[in-house]
Amino acid sequence: MSCILIIDDEKAIRRALKEILEYEKYSVEEAVDGIDGLEKMKANDFDLIFCDIKMPGMDGMELLEKAKEITSSPIVMISGHGNIATAVEALKKGAVDYIEKPLDLNRVLKTVKENINKQIGKPKQEIKQVKQSLSLTNIVGQSKVVKQMIDLIDKVAATDAKILITGDNGTGKELVAKQLYEKSLRKDNPFIELNCAAIPNDLIESELFGHEKGSFTTALNKQRGKFVLADKGTLFLDEIGDMSLTTQSKVLQAIQENKILPIGSEKDIQVDVRIISATNKNLLEQIKQGLFREDLYHRINVIEIKVPALKDRREDIPLLVNHFLNVIALENNTQPKKIEKTAIDYLTTLDYSGNIRQLRNMIERLNILSDSTITLNDIKKYI
């Protein structure tokens, strides 16, 4: 019997979908939010997943990106607040379909049958194992600097020490954070991340600490913050150097006292969170300029892990190229393209100001524009 997962914070939607699908003889599981959904994906291999976009804490778009690392199951996004731009973004990020609320019964069943029929006959466990072996959380490389970094990760991962990951943009700081999490004693609990540079200063405190309903103009519902969502797990503060001094002060207090105060609340909440931070900035220089708190710096920097730039590990480029070709093929359900040795040799000589992220984008472009084998001429033509 095919098994379907429904991820939606609205109980009425989950119940309605479940009744429809169980009537059609499908097995159904429910998840009340994004965190719950990810945990169920780790535990089970579903034939299809329905996921709401607008959810408290982790929204559907964030879940969609994280799900790629966990499951090969097709995901259908559903929303009552969407538009064409939202639908396009969801499909670009890997969703197989997008359905607006209120849900149309015929549309739902058509989507279910089409996507589950595509799975029939596929060796799902084999696909899952291959995807895990090519997971984007794997750190690929055999260079001396990468081996030294992995050794340090292995030494500190099982502790609760606060880690500061430093390195240029595109070097893979997020991968290091996920490796620390996956090798930690907290790996069965949530991994919550927040890009401090992507959230406006007037919203970041709400994202971190949560808020009560009505605590400010747009607070239409109560929201749990990242600290609460990460309780017993790991909170990854990416680009912490972009955090305002006011927020830095409150984060320092939360780390020192292991408790947070949601906006509009009078009651503290105890939290047990491991903090991993990352930045592409020189925080010591930021401190001198009065842009970063020295006391917070010493709190988050018990262990520093420096991620090398791609120019300092050129011998890893052939491994990375083949890794990306295999990952891209798996994502698109195609055979990996071959690449000529002369093409790989040429790639090792290029400058990569965007580091590994730039190399990955180049390989994806070559994969699309080249024929069955990527040649040196292809690189000179398309890069």
Q: In this predicted model, what pLDDT tens digit does every residue of 156-202 receive, in sequence order?
A: 999 999 999 999 999 999 999 999 999 999 998 999 999 999 888 88
pLDDT at residue number 137: 60
Q: Provide the pLDDT for residue 126.
A: 47
Let me know if residue 130 belongs to a domain.
no
Q: Are residues 352 and 264 part of one domain?
A: no
| Residue 251: strand, helix, or coil | helix
> Residue 127: what pLDDT?
47
For 144, 308, 365, 370, the CA distances from 345, given in Å and listed in that order, are 20, 20, 18, 17
User: pTM for the full model?
Assistant: 0.71
Please indicate, yes or no, whether residues 295 and 325 belong to a single structural domain of this protein.
no
DSSP-based three-state secondary structure for 356? helix
Q: Does residue 129 sit within a domain?
A: no
pLDDT of residue 119: 61
Domain boundary among 291, 306, 321: 306
332 part of a folded domain: yes
Same domain for 58 and 31: yes
The CB-based long-range contact list for 33-38 (8 Å cut-off, 24+ gap) reads 33/7, 33/9, 33/57, 33/58, 34/7, 34/58, 34/59, 34/60, 34/62, 34/63, 35/190, 35/192, 35/229, 36/7, 37/5, 37/7, 37/63, 38/63, 38/66, 38/67, 38/70
Cα separation of 323 and 158, whole Å?
A: 27
Q: Quote the percentage of the chain above a pLDDT of 70.
A: 95
For 63, the domain range is 3-123
> What local confidence, expressed as pLDDT, does residue 2 receive?
86
Q: How far is CA 324 from CA 135, 138, 331, 347, in A?
A: 10, 12, 10, 13
- Picking from 253, 286, 306, the residue at the C-terminal end of a domain is 306
Asked if 207 and 91 sit in the same domain, the reply is no
CATH number at residue 55: 3.40.50.2300
pLDDT greater than 80 at residue 1: no
- In this structure, is residue 152 part of a structural domain? yes
pLDDT at residue number 327: 84
Least trusted range by pLDDT, from 11-25, 130-144, 211-225: 130-144
How far does CA 191 lie from the centroid of its chain? 9
**Does 315 lie in the same domain as 296?**
no
My answer on whether 98 and 233 are in the same domain is no
Q: Backbone phi, then psi, for 265, in 5-degree steps? A: -105, 155
The domain that contains 149 carries what CATH number? 3.40.50.300
pLDDT digits (tens, 9 = 90+) for 126-160: 445 445 444 556 799 999 999 999 999 999 999 99
Answer whether residue 278 is part of any domain: yes
Is the pLDDT reported for residue 84 higher than 90? no
Structural domain ending residue among the three candidates 306, 340, 363: 306
| pLDDT of residue 113 exceeding 70 | yes
Same domain for 234 and 94?
A: no
Domain of 341, CATH number, reads: 1.10.8.60
Number of domains in the chain: 3
User: For residue range 43-81, what is the model confidence (pLDDT) as tens digits?
Assistant: 888 999 999 998 988 889 989 988 877 888 899 999 887
Q: Mark whether 55 and 148 lie in a shared domain.
A: no
pLDDT at 130: 47
300 and 316 housed in the same domain:
no
pLDDT band at 120 (very low <50, low <70, confident <90, very high): low
Q: What three-state secondary structure class fits 152?
A: helix
Mean local confidence (pLDDT), 339-353: 96
Same domain, 157 and 277: yes
Q: What is the pLDDT of residues 311-343, one digit of tens each?
A: 999 999 999 999 999 888 877 778 889 999 999
Cβ neighbours of residue 252 closer than 8 Å, sequence gap 6 or more: 293, 295, 296, 299
In a domain, 243, yes or no: yes
Report the pLDDT value the prediction gives residue 92, as an integer from 0 to 100.
81
Shared domain for 154 and 105, answered yes or no, is no
Return the number of other C-beta atoms located less than 10 Å from residue 149's C-beta: 23
Q: 102: cis peptide before it, omega within 30°?
A: yes
Distances (CA, A) of 48 to 22, 29, 187: 14, 11, 25
Q: Taken in order 363, 368, 373, 374, is the CA torsion positive or negative?
A: negative
Task: Evaluate whether residue 131 is within a structural domain.
Answer: no
pLDDT for 210: 93
Say yes or no: 162 and 299 in one domain.
yes
In a domain, 133, yes or no: no
- Mean pLDDT across the chain: 90
